Amino acid sequence: MDKDLLSIQQVRDLIKAAKTAQKEYSTFTQEKVDKIIEAMSMEVRKHSEELAKMANEETGFGKWQDKVIKNKFASEIVYDSIKDMKTIGILKEEDSLLSVAVPVGVIAGLIPSTNPTSTTIYKTLISLKAGNAIVVSPHPNAKNCIIKTVEILKRAAYNAGAPEGLIGVIDIPTMEATAELMKHKDTALILATGGEAMVRAAYSSGTPAIGVGPGNGPAYIEKSADVKKAVKRIMDSKTFDNGVICASEQSVIVEPSNEQAVREEFKRQGGYFLTPEQSEKLGKFILRSNGTMNPLIVGKDAQTLANLAGIKVPSDARVLISEQSTVSKSNPYSREKLTTILAFYVAENCEKACERAIELLMNEGKGHTMIIHTENKELVKEFALKKPVSRLLINTPGSLGGIGGSTKLAPALTLGCGAVGGSSTSDNITPMNLLNIKKVGWGIKELEDFKPECKTVGSLEGMSIEDLVKKVLAEISKR
């Protein structure tokens, strides 16, 4: 049979099995569900290094050592944040009102190649925690490591008592298979992480979807910031897994008052400022002819990028920095760059820095993330009111802060961008986003309580008929 037809049939079989399994799973108690989640977490964390190396070898993106950290983040930190959540049965009981959790059913988990194994762990854990089944659709360029991750999770879940079929994975990934998964009548919700085109397809599928668009987070180093710490955090974030996390910084904005100090600090910490000629050469590789990010640059270190562009940079260069003054769809440096490249902008003052940040975000990355390094709390409040982002991170690495690793945000690997970013939510996605909440309300009023009270014309006791008529006529005449 044709590969596309085989993949479509496989999806139908996986959804059928998942729907049957989820029907049984929906009867499980919170305690039983939690035992399954714990078993998956405990088992998959044993394979963090193995899966990291598989992902790095298969995709060529990032660093396997950092992917170990991401796998541990998904299997340990995410697990710790959800393990005590009440997600099954009655969630809350108030006076005359009950809140009841209702799982949505079968979830389509679309997995990107940038964070394949960690995202698979994360989506499977939060889906099952909310009482759902999941069918995983792997990115074709990360198929093997994603399938391996699912196999580990399935084995642990089934050994802990989960019904067979509750977790599925497409092992013949095709565009047709993903389309079938998203549009199938028994798919209840799509959890989409990936490229902008795929996320748009999820939202236009006719199935409810939670999608994440591109990030293009600017980092503003305000004049009150500790420059050394700010640059360190940006460099830590941008070199973590070679910048493949979408919340990582894409540009830096400074003012004339601290420009020189920031430049010198970047140079001390391994930032290399490209010459105009070098920027032009490298810029040709950032975008493809169709205006999308070139996968050849994704998750690459500075030396690899330099070789790709045919330029020479110092051997200790960790991040390549291009000085820019414009923002547009055709300027690759003002777009999302999931690699070790930063744009560098100088704004006249704080107000202009604010405007530049908004310009960058509206160009790409609306609703996603922005980072500010500052000691000015009033400025933070001002920016929070104005910036079109769902996450405003203060004095922290963007990549770790956005996913809730170095902040108090909910630990998550799917980050909602809100309505401004074309997303159905602005949350860091947790199990609470993957269930419906039924409300049970008791009556507390009767119909009569909504009717206006009848006004009398005064006491009628002891009045004759003639006096009563006169009184009523007098009242009417007053009106």
Residue among 401, 400, 371, 365 at smallest CA distance from 383: 371
> Known catalytic residue: 246?
yes
- CA 365 to chain centroid, in Å, comes to 12
Catalytic residue among 246, 350, 354, 417: 246
Catalytic amino acids? 246
